[in-house]
Amino acid sequence: MTREDIIRELKNHTNNVANLSQKLGKSVAAIENDLEHIRTSIRNDKSLKLLIQPASCKLCDYQFQNDKIKLPTKCPACKKEKIKPASFKIIKK
């Protein structure tokens, strides 16, 4: 399984890290690491764009920063751990 597989998945569907981990049989940490690399390489690619729907708190709707790939563990606003993970999609520019 390669980064190309992740890119293909993200072109076809919106996915979060847990989805990708399950579909591709890789650990969450490995997927996060690959996504960081994909983001960097896509930044230099004029034809593709990585869209990130940022993580948010399920309880108070706090929105995490747009560029965070790793899942935050705790909401800084309400201090709870009910986090809706960020989701990712790759589109053609």
Task: Kindly list the residues in this chain that would bind Zn ion in the complex (CB under 5 A).
Answer: 57, 59-60, 62, 75, 77-78
Q: Which is nearer to Zn ion, 36 or 81 (CB)?
A: 81
Whole-number minimum distance, CB 72 to Zn ion, in Å? 10
Render 42-69 in DSSP notation, one character per residue.
HHT-SSEEEEEE--EETTT-PBPPTT--
Looking at the Cβ atoms of 17 and 75, the one nearer to Zn ion is 75
Nearest residue (CB) to Zn ion, 17 versus 57: 57
- Residues 9-37, buried b or exposed e (16+ Cβ, 10 A)? bbeeeebbbebbbeebebeeebbbebbee
CB of 85 to Zn ion, least distance (A): 14
